[in-house]
Each structure stands twice: as C-alpha cells, then as structure tokens.
Chains A and B, each alone.
Chain A
Amino acid sequence: MKWFTTYNNGSAIDLRKIPALTYAEFFEAMRERLANPACHVAHYFGVPVEETRLRVWAILLDDAEHTIDVASYDVDYYDEDLPSLTKEFPAMHPFERDMTERWGVRYDGMPWDKPLRAPSRSARRGGTIDEYPFYKMESASLHEVNVGPIHAGIIEPGAFRFICNGEKVLHLEISLGYQHRGAERQIETSESLLRQVLLAEGIAGDSAVTHTTALVRTIEKLAAFDSSKAGNLDVERTVALELERMAMHIADTGALCMDVGYQLGQVACEALRTLTINTTQLWCGNRFGKGLIRPFGTNFPLTDEMRQTILKNVAEIRRRYNEVRQDIKNTPSLLSRMEQCGLVSAQQMQRIGGVGQASRASGLARDIRVSHPWGVYTDRIAHQSIIKEQGDVMARLMMRCREVLQAADTIVALLTELDCSVATPAPQWDVKLQPYMFSTALVEGWRGECCHVAITDGEGRVVCYRVKDPSMHNWLALAIAVRSEGISDFPICNKSFNLSYCGHDL
C-alpha cells in the first residue's frame, strides 16, 4: 500500500500509519496517479526529521473517489537521483521549487528551477529577490516591460516581466515573494492557539473566513471534535464563507467594470460589496469576518434577529446584483472587451493544476464543495458546481456572477428554517491535541481550494504547519492567459483571476 486514504470530513491520521516510500517508489506512484485527470496534488512539502534528513509528504486529491490520499518518503540532503515530477506534470512546479528553496533538495531535470518566495534563509545561495532570473528572449524586434514590485494602485506587490512584440505579449513571467513574512513559521512556533487563529486570519485578508475555517478544522480534527454536533456551528461557518464569496465576487465584478471603463457597473458593485461586508460587520464587528471563525465554537452565535437581517440583506443584494449581471450580459461594448480575451483551455488548466472558480471557467470541474465535501456540504447542501467552457475573461466574470447568486441561495437555504434557540458552544483555547498526528483540511473559498496541514509531536504540540492558498496553482494560469493578448488587456486578465500575493508568499 503506497497511500493512506482519508476524507475531508474524516479524522486526523496517526503518523505511523502513513507509508514511507523510497523516492523511486513515490515517483512511480505519483506518475501513475497523476495520469488520471481526476487527481491533482493539494500539497507537497518537506519537514526536517533529523540533522540532514527530511520527511516529505504529498497530499493527493481524487475528485472521482472523493478521497484524500497521503504518501511520504524520506530524503537526505545529499541524496542524488531524484527525477523531477514537474518535467512531466507542470502542476508540481511551486512545490518542487519550495523544496529546493527551503531545504536545498534538487530535483533532476526540473525545467523551472527558480526561486519561489526568496525567504531570508533560502537554501539557494546568493541573489536577492530583485535578482530573480527572468526568462529572456533575444531579438532586436522584442522589448521587455517590467511592472512592479509596486503596482499602480492600492494592491499588493509582485514583479511582472512581459516580453512583447509590439503591443502583443509573447510571454509573461511573475516573480513573487515580496509579501513573504514567515506566516507558516509563526504558526508552527506559536504556543497559543489564539495566536495561530489570528495568524490564519491574516494569511490573506480577503479570504480571512476561508483560511481561518481551514485552520480551525485542521486543529479540531486533532482533538477529534465533531463540529456537526456543536449546535449551529457548521451552518454559521458556511454562511460566513458564502458571505465572503459574495463580497469578493462582487468586488471583482466592480473591478472588471472599472477596468473596461464601465462606471455604472463599478459603482453599483462597490455599493453592493459595502452592503455585503457591512452585513458581516453587523454580525461579528469586522467587515472581513475576522473574529467570526473560532476553534470549537463561536463568539457570535446567530441570533434570530441577525438571521433575519442576513436574509433580508442577502435578498436585496441578490436582486440588485442580478440586475447588474443582466446589464453586463446585454452590453455589446463590454462583451467585445471580455469575450475571447485571456483564454486558458481546460487542457492547460489540467496541466498546471488550476483550481477554483478560474478552473471551472475553463471547463475543469474542480470544486472541493463537490469533490471533497465537509460540514453542511456533506448533507444539507447538495452543491452543484457552475461550469463554463470558454475559459476567457467573460467566462471568469460570469462564473463570479453565477456564484454570487448561488451563494445567496445557499445562505437562504441554510438560514430560512434555522432554529437560533439551539445553543452553539463558545470557543475553547486550551484543548489537548492528539500526539503524533497528521491532520489536513480543505475548504473551497471564493478563489478555490485552500489546504492546511498540521503535524503534532509526542506532546500534541503543532510542530509543522503548512498552508496552501489556491493562488499557488493559479498564478501560472494568469501568465498563460495573457499570451498573445495586447498588453493593454493585462489589467482585465489580472482582475478576472484576482489572485492573492500574500496567500502565495505566506
């Protein structure tokens, strides 16, 4: 047996039950599984076990079987003959780059052996983040355009290098790491669970509910806590998650309208996002839902009054947003900008391991709510993914539009009959976690699949914590989307993905 199988709604795994393979066995096992289009890697990372040895863990998701499969192998810093998986499966590139950068493990034939985040203790010798080895094309008729790390707007930093032939983009390479602040290291060295939760809220502020839900689920599994029996806890967490999805999809709709010069759509969406996040604020005191997701319970159990307020506001947002959607769909000047622009095919998405709404807009049906359901998605909500085939900016926009309406419907379905007199427990901060365990939780946020992993030592302390934001997979999709487009279409391509810098850089 090469893999240990578990489920998103399952429990933590005893470390000793996970098979330890040799790299050769692991390599073959991965090749075999990744040849199946239903499979992709959710995480792949190393943890030092001795002075020069690493235990490397891989988490593979099988969408058809709904399983999470975990395998591991040991590697010594001086081991040789580790053939690269990226060569055959480009989706593996961020993980192998991370292994090289963090631990100095080099994979033979790795075609894109470049820095990922440029941390202070990088195992790559020499070179600062500003000396990233960008891909070059030598030709007198080509020119390069460098953008960043600081961009023209209130957004996060990242360096973009375009190679253009006239106005046409031949190649875009994105160098990240500017936001690296040591989030994983801070989480795994924290003694306090509260501190870990606050760190999770700041992994990506626009996905605070998503990442915090992933962290508390990872921790709760380590204490064998069943959130489905904790009053309305699962329902409340899902409502918060869907409110976040609505808010961000509406924000991105507005941003896309702005970038094509459509002010009516922009301001209407700004106001609707305000109404959405103010609803969250009315519930928990913070517009981004910080403070709302807590381990083993909640500080803000839904009152009947709050339930009705959410239902009222969501209905209003849904109605008004749907008018914006109809308007966008019926405005030829918008369609001419967004249709057939920024194309990413289903095959490309599959190759690079794309996830979330961007993958679904390209016809690749990756959605954790369906493939690896948790909480209310296992029973109360029979979620059906929205899939679009076109893979262009318009498809990603319409995906957002439809998901806003769908999220509103999910909230209505969850809250309409909800009995708010049920007691939902308060958070707990001093729960003993099981020793020698491997715990992972997946959450489908508005960007896509978010994966957290924790490993405990003999005392039940979290000694390893790993985070994967969906942006890890999808940045490459943006680079592919702008190929052969005019460079002036970069902003709408970029906004149609709206990927996270801080979630990637950690």
Chain B
Amino acid sequence: MLLNKLKVFKSHGSQYIPDLDAVQLPEIFRGRPELSECDEETARELEKMCPTKAIAASPFSLDMGRCLFCGECARRAPQAIRFTNDYRIGASRREDLIVTPATRSIPFAHDAVRKEIPAMFAHALKLRQVSAGGDASVEMELNATGNVNFDFGRYGVEFVASPRHADGVVITGPVSRNMAEALQVCYDAVPDPKVVIVAGSEAVSGSLYAESTEVDRSFFERHQPDLWLPGAPTHPMVFIEAVMNLIGRRRRGEQTKK
C-alpha cells in the first residue's frame, strides 16, 4: 500500500513554479495583441468580422475587454494584428485594455488603485468568487491559481467559501439576469473595504452576450471594478500578475524586488 504512494510521490516530484515572475507562456499563447497601422479598407473589414465588436476601424484599435482571443483577425490580416504571448494584460482602469498601434505594453495605473487596497491587502487577500453566466473555463483557471503548480496562496491570496470571510469578490461571466440579485447580495455581505475584480472578457464587457436579454449588468452601474482581467478564459498568470500589482507587491515594468 505504502509502495503505491511512494511511486505516486516519486513520479509527481516537485511541480510548483519557484519564481512566478519568471514564467513565460509558449509563443503560441494568445495574449496582448499588437496592432500596426493599416489601410482603412482592411481596418473596416476587421471591424466587420469581429464577432464581439472588439475592433474599431477609426481610429484603429482593439478592446481586449471584449476580445475572446480567437485570433481570427490576425489570420485575416497578419500585417495589421498579431497576438503576442505577453500575459501582463490586467488593468486597474477599463480604458487601459484598449490597444492601439502605439501600444507596446499594457500599463498598470497604480495611482488609479484605491489607497486602502495595497495598505490593507498587500499580505493577505481573501476572495469570494461569483460565477454569473460564466462558461466554467474562467472558474477553472481561477481554481488553478491555487493549485500545486501556481500556488498563489504563497502570497496570501486565496479563495474562501463565505463572503463574510472575504475582502472582495471576483466576478466571472456576463452576469446573467438570474444571478444579478445573488451577485449583489454576495457583494453586500463582504465587509468594507472591499475589492471587485472582473475576470474574463465576458465579465469585463458581456462580450458575445453584451446584447442578450438574459443578461443584467446593472451591478456595474453601481460598483466600479478595481481590476479588469481580459481573456477567454483568463490564464492563471494573467490573474496572478495583475493581482500582485493591485495589492502593490509588484510594479509592472520594473525590476522586481527579490
């Protein structure tokens, strides 16, 4: 009996990622898009083909908050759009998710973060997740942030079962009409001060469901998210890197303190 366990233990080896700052995703991963100036006809064509209306022709831009990172635009016009493997794409301001031909990195606006967030949560942030019409892929990636590989718990960031134990909510999905009230109840149950994180492009903008009659996004008219995370789904590294910035443990673009 013990022998079986030792075998599993030995094969498992050591799986955790020692340095999360050094993680590089494979080249093929579709992260931050890079745009190049292109003729108006191409831009119009791309605008028309994008199913989530993420692309605008003039001025030419791509809104990651709507984008599902399907990559079809980059196939149609590789000279105008290409997707890089840069996962540092979470932002504290919604407008920072809009990529233009001038964008070569997504800024993280630390001055837009409420002061109490780094002051209170830098060493422990407990989150309550609410799935509201999500497709379960973002939810699984959020689960993965705490798994044996990513082990985000090492920085004190964890998901908890009750909103009463939480410092904030993480919302996934376009916010279905049937979950609108439950989301508000959950938010109200979190003690102040509290953080709101939206994870996944569906949560950021509604994306494919932005016009659906079955979606109710009035929550966002009442509450301003502190962190916007695009993706379909949001990769665990997108979440980890952005939350580290939110709580002030990292400053994107600067050499990290070891």
Task: Name A's B-contacting residues (CB within 8 A).
Answer: 118-121, 129-130, 149-150, 152-157, 177-182, 185-186, 190, 192, 194-195, 198-199, 201-206, 208, 251, 264-265, 267-268, 270-271, 274, 281-288, 290-291, 299, 319-320, 323-324, 326-327, 330-331, 500-502, 505
Contacts and interface: CB of A to CB of B under 8 A. Distances in A.
B7 A181 contact: no
Given A154-B159, A206-B136, A274-B147, A120 B8 contact: no
Nearest to A324: B8
Q: Top 6 A-B pairs ranked by shortest CB distance?
A: A205-B137, A195-B51, A152-B161, A205-B135, A182-B214, A327-B4
A270 B148 contact: yes
Contacts of B174: 181
Nearest to B143: A154
Contacts of B25: 281
Given A155-B139, A281-B28, A180 B177 contact: yes
Contact of B208 (A120, A180, A202, A320): A202
A284 B28 CA distance: 7
A157 B139 CA distance: 11
Contact of A120 (B11, B144, B213): B213
B120 to A, nearest CB: 23
Contacts of B173: 179, 181
B108 interface: no
A260 B193 CA distance: 35
Contact of A271 (B149, B162, B182, B186): B149
20 contacts: A118-B178, A120-B214, A150-B182, A152-B161, A180-B214, A181-B215, A182-B209, A182-B213, A192-B49, A201-B135, A267-B148, A268-B12, A274-B144, A285-B71, A291-B70, A299-B71, A319-B11, A320-B8, A326-B7, A501-B136
Interface stretch (B89-97, B98-106, B125-133, B242-250): B125-133
B83 to A, nearest CB: 8
Interface centre among A202, A320, A324 (most CB of B within 10 A): A202
A274 B52 CA distance: 29
B28 A285 contact: yes
A500 B51 contact: no
A321 to B, nearest CB: 10
Nearest to A306: B28
Contacts of B131: 154-157, 179
Nearest to A193: B51
Contacts of B129: 154
B99 to A, nearest CB: 18
B71 A291 contact: yes
Interface residues of B, number: 65
A202 B174 CA distance: 11
Most chain B CB neighbours (cut-off 10 Å) among A288, A319, A501:
A288
Contacts of B159: 153-154
B65 interface: no
Given A150-B186, A181-B133, A290-B70, A323 B4 contact: yes
A181 B134 CA distance: 9
A288 B70 CA distance: 12
Contacts of A281: 25-26, 28-29
A201 B232 CA distance: 10
B79 interface: no
B68 to A, nearest CB: 6
Contact of B137 (A155, A185, A199, A208): A208
B182 to A, nearest CB: 5
B233 interface: yes
A287 to B, nearest CB: 7
A205 B136 contact: yes
Contact of B15 (A156, A201, A267, A330): A267
**Chain A CB within 10 Å — which of B29, B68, B140, B186 has the most?**
B140
Interface string B29-66: 11000000000000000000101100000000000000
Contacts of A501: 136
Contacts of B178: 118, 129, 177-180
A156 B162 contact: no
Contacts of B149: 270-271, 274
B205 interface: no
Nearest to A121: B213
Contact of B132 (A157, A285, A500): A157
B135 A203 contact: yes
B238 to A, nearest CB: 12
Contacts of A190: 51
Given A271-B149, A331-B1, A264 B29 contact: no
A195 B29 CA distance: 21
B5 interface: yes
A189 B162 CA distance: 39
B115 interface: no
Nearest to A329: B4
A199 B208 contact: yes
**Residue in A177, A182, A204 whose Cβ sees the most chain B Cβ within 10 Å:** A182
Contacts of B134: 156, 179, 205, 502
A327 B28 contact: no
Contacts of B88: none
Contacts of A202: 135, 137, 202, 208, 232
A182 B212 contact: yes
A502 B136 contact: yes
Given A154-B142, A291-B70, 10 more contacts: A154-B159, A179-B179, A180-B133, A185-B214, A190-B51, A194-B49, A288-B140, A320-B11, A320-B12, A331-B1
A153 B83 CA distance: 33
Interface centre among A181, A190, A204 (most CB of B within 10 A): A181
Nearest to B189: A150
A180 B176 contact: yes
Contact of A185 (B15, B177, B181, B212): B212
Given A149-B179, A155-B131, A265 B143 contact: no
Contact of A285 (B29, B72, B181): B29
A320 B8 CA distance: 7
Contacts of B83: 285
Contact of A153 (B29, B132, B147, B161): B161
B227 interface: no
Of B11, B139, B161, most buried by chain A (CB within 10 Å of CB) is B11
B138 interface: yes
B11 A286 contact: no
Contacts of A319: 11
B176 A299 contact: no
A205 B201 CA distance: 14
B8 A181 contact: no
Contacts of B114: none
B179 A204 contact: no
B72 A178 contact: no
Nearest to A320: B11
Contact of A299 (B29, B51, B75, B215): B75
Contact of A195 (B147, B162, B208): B208
